[in-house]
Structure 1
Amino acid sequence: MSKQIRVWDLPLRFFHWALVVSVVVALASGLKGNMGLHQQAGLAVVTLLSFRLAWLFLGSTYARIGALLGALPRIPDYLRGNWRKPGHNPLGVLSMGAMLLVLGWQSVSGLFTNDDSVFTGPLYRLIDKADSLMLTGLHRQTFWLLVGLIALHVATVLFYWLVKKNNLVKPMITGNTEQLNEEYKPATGGRWLAFVLSCLFAVGAFYVAQGSWVPKPPPPAPASALPF
C-alpha cells in the first residue's frame, strides 16, 4: 500500500468547498434575478476570498504564496513531464490564480452595482451613480468569463481523472495524496493562531463589504403645506 502524506490543510479544504457552494448559488441566483440571495452569496465569496488571501501567508506549506509562485518558473519542466512535486502544478497555479482574480473582481464590483431601479449593492452610495452603472455593466459582462474559467477548471479535473488516472478531487476532500518520491514532504504550519487571525481578517472584510457602516442618505424634506 502506497504511503499517504498530508498536503492540503483542513481550513484550505473548507475554503475550497464553501467557495464552490457560494459561487454556484451566486451564479444561479443572478441568472434567476433573485438579487437578495445573489447579494448574500456575493458577500460570502468576498469573505471566503479574504480568508484565502490571509491564508496565502499564514497557511500550511502548499497553501502559501511562496509555494505557488515557486511553481511558476517550473512550467517548462512540467510541460516536459518532469514535475514531481506535491501541491498545485505550475499550470494549476495559473488557472487557480485567474479564477480567484476574476471571482475577486466579480464579488467586489458587485458591492457597487445597481439595476437603475430597485436593487443597489451595499457600497453603492460610496461612488457616483454613473460609475456604479459602469461597474454594473462590467460586472455582467465578466459573468461569462467566470463561467468559462469554471468550465475549464471542471474539464481539467475530469481530464486528469479519466485520462491521466489522477483523482484531484480526493486530496481536496481527505487532505492526503500519494507520496510518489522523497521530494513529497507533508505540509507544515497553518496552526490555530494562523487560522484565528485569518478568520478575523475575513470577518473584517465581511463587515466592510456588507455596508452597514456607510452613512445613510438624509430623509427627504417634508413637502411644504399647500395653501387652500
Structure 2
Amino acid sequence: MKKIIRVWDLPIRLFHWLLVFCIAGSFITINMGDEFVQWHAYCGYSILVLLIFRIVWGFIGSRHARFASFFPNKEAILNYLNGTSPRVLGHNPLGALSVFALLFVLCVQVITGLFVDDEVSFQGPLAKYVSDSVGSFLSEIHEGNQVVILTLITIHIAAIWYYKKFKGENLIKPMISGDKEIDPSEEANYLPNDLGQASKDGVLQRGLALLLLSLIAVAVGYLISK
C-alpha cells in the first residue's frame, strides 16, 4: 500500500494555478490590440499580488513551501546531477533553480511594468515618478524579458514531460491534489526525516494565507489607484 504524504498546501496549489492563468492572460491580452492593454495591466497587477504572497509564504508557509527547505547549493546540484542525492518530496535542486529563476524574472517583469508608459494607451502607476529616459529603459527591459519568461516556462514544461516520460513521476498530480504517493519499495531512496514531515494544510494555515493575500491585494490596489 502506497504512503500518501501532503506535500503542497492549498495556498501553494492555488498560487501555482492562478499564476499560470494570469501569465497566460497577460500574454494573450498584450497581443490583442490597444483596447486590451488595461486587461494586460490587470493581469500584471494580479501577478504582482501573487508574487508578493509567494515570497512571504516562502518564509512562513508550510514545510515544503518554505525556501529554506529547497534552497539549492552547489553540492546539492552536483550530487543530483551525479545521481547520488536522495529523492525529495518537494523541489529537487534543479527544480529549485527553476523556481527561483521564474520568480526572479516574473518580479522583474511586474516591477518594470509599473513604470511603463507607451504614451498612447497605458501609463504604469509609477511612471510619473521617473524620467522619460529611465521609463524608456525599463520599458525595454519589460518587453525583452518576455522572451526569458517564455524560455523558462518552456524548460519547465519540458522538465514535467521528461519526468513523466522517462522517470514515471507525475509532477502535475501532486500540484492538484497536494499529495505525493510513495511506494514502499521507494521509501529507502528518501531521507527518513523528509518522509516523516508532511506539510501543514489545516484551517488555520489556509486562513492565514487568505488573510495575507487579502492584505497584499489591498496594498497593491492602493498603490495602483494613487
Structure 1 length-normalised TM: 0.86
Distance 2:111 2:42 in 1: 13
Post-superposition CA distance 1:9-48 (Å, at most 9, x none): 0000000000000000001111223211100000000000
Using a 3 Å threshold, how does the CA distance of structure 1 residues 201 and 66 change in structure 2: closer, same or farther? farther
How far residue 204 of structure 1 moved from its aligned partner, in angstroms, is 4.7
Using a 3 Å threshold, how does the CA distance of structure 1 residues 50 and 118 change in structure 2: closer, same or farther? same
The within-5 A match list for 1:13-162 is: 13-33=13-33, 34-69=36-71, 73-81=75-83, 82-162=85-165
Structure 1 gap segments, 5+ residues each? 214-228
Question: In structure 1, the residue corresponding to 2:43 is in which secondary structure?
Answer: helix
Q: Which residue number in structure 2 is paired with residue 220 of structure 1? A: none
Q: Which residue number in structure 1 is paired with residue 12 of structure 2? A: 12
Q: Which residue number in structure 2 is paired with residue 167 of structure 1? A: 170
Post-superposition CA distance 1:100-128 (Å, at most 9, x none): 11011101110110113232112211212
Using a 3 Å threshold, how does the CA distance of structure 1 residues 11 and 72 change in structure 2: closer, same or farther? farther
Q: 1:187 aligns with which of 194, 198, 217?
A: 198
- Check whether the contact 1:109–1:136 (CA below 8 A) recurs between aligned residues: yes
How far residue 201 of structure 1 moved from its aligned partner, in angstroms, is 4.7
How far residue 174 of structure 1 moved from its aligned partner, in angstroms, is 0.4
**Number of matched residues?**
212
Query: Do residues 203 (structure 1) and 214 (structure 2) align?
Result: no
Cα root mean square deviation, aligned = 1.9
How far residue 137 of structure 1 moved from its aligned partner, in angstroms, is 1.1
**Bigger shift: residues 125-134 or 46-55:** 125-134
Using a 3 Å threshold, how does the CA distance of structure 1 residues 153 and 85 change in structure 2: closer, same or farther? same
Structure 2 gap segments, 5+ residues each? none
Distance 1:205 1:104 in 2: 17
Question: In structure 1, the residue corresponding to 2:31 is in which secondary structure?
Answer: helix
Question: In structure 2, the residue corresponding to 1:32 is in which secondary structure?
Answer: coil
- Check whether the contact 1:58–1:198 (CA below 8 A) recurs between aligned residues: no
Bigger Rg, which one: 1
Q: Which residue number in structure 2 is paired with residue 217 of structure 1? A: none
- Check whether the contact 1:46–1:209 (CA below 8 A) recurs between aligned residues: no
Using a 3 Å threshold, how does the CA distance of structure 1 residues 118 and 97 change in structure 2: closer, same or farther? same
Distance 1:37 1:193 in 2: 29
Question: In structure 2, the residue corresponding to 1:98 is in which secondary structure?
Answer: helix
